[in-house]
Structure 1
């Protein structure tokens, strides 16, 4: 199937994204739990070799709604258990009273704003109830609050809440570092990893600030987004890898692995394309390098292993990782860079090579994929 992609790519990558969007339409209905009208947390290969559903996730359901918004209605219903996006978002909003997580509420409000849903005021009211301005928040969730409020401009009165949420996100950075931390303030992380931020901590602020600039011409927000985007592109791996852990104080790398398929195909392109659409620079070269990793990961060259994409099963395997016990490499590199920024333990990378493949797939991976490539 050929999809109307939002960005021009070379021929191989165009075919790959077309293929991945089709895989998403195969996989998402199999991740839906019709008995409870919820999406599973994950679909994973069991020890017997079967694909099985595990858990449920309100967060992932909201992300699927954000992506499914850009599908024709008949495909929305195929993905969302027979509902279209308006009906599915109404279901999510109706359950907000039982939602206590700020990030989940932010995503639901964002989905309501993006779809111009009549229940947006209710979603924003619950978001205000959960958002304590005096409490530090995870940067990912704080970014979703900004994205939701910025997307609500012109539909609801969000000026004061948005001003506070914007300020919280922008001042969370360490000094002149271009990168965002894991939390907007102290107290969320143990001391030995308080400097460590992940890829998601960069992608979601870039996206939220890009949306904010697009909606109201916020140059400071755009500048912060471009600085973060430029830096993660500078640090991109030689095989197109979007690395996982950064030093938020210096803008350096702490530990590259795991490399996640969702970052390569969905989250990275999503944030960078949103920034370009908001008047930022083009990141096409970095996006294309990241996509090429999916079908030819450098970590698996010369090794017998299965592919990441499984069309008939409707899955893309989640990540390539080291397989080190108790994530020892991450812990060691976190400690050494905490003590001396930029210092890495010699030899540990060679001791734990990234060959392992995580055979699970989560619905948000496909939700962000559809958003990344179909959003207009």
Structure 2
């Protein structure tokens, strides 16, 4: 089907729904978008697909590409029908081996554990060796950020659940470290085990650590882990914005929002649904409504009153951000410190002072695959007309 994009370029967009009938339209939408982010010469998905009209929209950052690719493959573990030409074992092996050669964060190794377990793939020996070194030296865990710890614990549990008992004995020490150093009395999670910065945590902090607690709690029958995850989810739902916005920045010590922005689309349609799926499973009644409200934000129920989809490309717009802050975090940092110092919560600002970040990242589409690849109980989302081919 040939269509004109809003960037002035005619595009051929495959109608995946006709080819992949077992997949929901939302899943096909994400798969089509991933085709645009594919870097065939590197056999991986890109760091950024720019939506500002440039002639070469894909930007590659190798260390990020590799992590994002593993995240996409995690999502594909839940897809009923994979598009022709995607050789998951080959892509996994080629990219996971890069973890020992590129300057990646520790959380990338956690994603390797998690995605390998879900896909039923073997982790290459060089990567296993590096993982053992990371997990065995507890003195180095003090450098972990929340995403590092959350993904490593999730990955270890996923491997153990898949029958790879080698990783099982790391699970309890990792969870104990999480409980002792990352859990705040407010019910939210800290971003780091030590230091002044630890109290300023993101929505991602809450998501990754809560998922890890749910995973560990279920696997190890540890009620304390489930209680921590449930408490965090209840607090997040209480802090959700009036149109379903998930705030970005928190003071974990007080449990307050210190900055709503940026509001990221991936949180609305991917990461929050991944977390809330666990919360629903353990009886959090508000979780389903919170998921739907958050997702509808992407469909146009937001401050700008516009969809965050780019349907002619099967991509999404990354975020809504305060005007003037696309290229700097300094004002946000100062605002967060001030709000924490004054014990003041932050609210949404006037929509006239909000703009769009015109990019899409491949891992965002991967989270759609993970969160909705197997869901059949939310047709108002998975089969929404916004994702159906014309």
Smaller-chain TM-score bracket: 0.7 to 0.9
- Residues 29 and 175 from structure 1, CA distance in 2 versus in 1: closer, same or farther, beyond 3 angstroms? closer
Determine the C-alpha separation between the residues in 2 that align with 1:139 and 1:323.
Answer: 28
**Conserved? CA contact 2:79–2:374, under 8 Å:** no
- Do the aligned partners of residues 70 and 33 (structure 1) sit closer, same or farther apart at CA in structure 2, a change above 3 Å counting? same
Deviates more, 1:57-66 or 1:37-46: 37-46
* d(CA) in 1 for partners of 2:67, 2:245: 26
* 3-state SS of 2:152 partner: helix
Aligned to 1:333: 335
Task: Find 1:208's aligned residue among 209, 212, 215.
Answer: 212
Does structure 1 conserve the Cα–Cα contact (< 8 Å) formed by 2:157 and 2:219? Answer: yes
**Structure 2 counterpart of 1:298:** 302
SS at match of 2:250: strand
Deviation of 1:349 after TM superposition, in Å, equals 4.1
* Contact 1:320–1:354, Cα closer than 8 Å, also in 2: no
Match of 1:45 in 2: 51
Shift of 1:328: 5.5
Q: Where does residue 168 of structure 2 map in the other structure?
A: 159
How many Å separate the matches in 1 of 2:321 and 2:152?
31
- Which of 20, 27, 31 pairs up with 1:21? 27
Give, in angstroms, the shift of residue 337 of structure 1.
Answer: 2.8
Q: 1:3 to 1:319 in 2, by over 3 A?
A: farther
CA RMSD of aligned residues (A): 2.6
Equivalence for 2:118:
114
The structure 1 residue matched to 2:194, chosen from 168, 171, 185, is 185
Aligned to 1:101: 105
CA distance, structure 2, for counterparts of residue 3 and residue 213 of structure 1: 36
Residue 38 of structure 2 corresponds to 32
C-alpha deviation, 1:72, in angstroms: 3.5
Give ranges in structure 2 of 5+ residues lacking alignment. 1-16, 376-390
TM-score, normalised by the number of residues in structure 2 = 0.81
Indicate yes or no: 2:363 matched with 1:364: yes
Render the CA deviation track for 1:63-120: whole Å, top value 9, x for unaligned: 0010011223542xx4xxx333333222233333324531111111111112222337
Q: 1:219 to 1:4 in 2, by over 3 A?
A: farther
- Report if the CA contact (8 A) 1:102-1:141 is conserved: yes
Contact persistence 1:261–1:294 (CA under 8 A): yes
In the alignment, which residue of structure 2 is the partner of 1:15? none
Distance 1:318 1:3 in 2: 28
Aligned partner (choices 54, 58, 61) of residue 66 of structure 2: 58
Equivalences for residues 1-376 of structure 1 within 5 A:
1=17, 18-46=24-52, 48=53, 50=55, 52-56=57-61, 57-75=65-83, 78=84, 82-99=85-102, 100-119=104-123, 123-131=127-135, 132-135=137-140, 136=142, 137-153=144-160, 154-173=163-182, 175-186=184-195, 191=196, 193-277=197-281, 279-282=282-285, 283-301=287-305, 307-325=307-325, 326-327=328-329, 329-342=331-344, 349=349, 353-375=352-374
CA deviations on 1:155-185 (whole Å, 9 max, x unpaired) are 2222332122111222223541211111122
Contiguous gaps of at least 5 residues in structure 1: 6-17
Structure 1 pair 170–355 and aligned structure 2 pair: CA distance change class (3 A): same
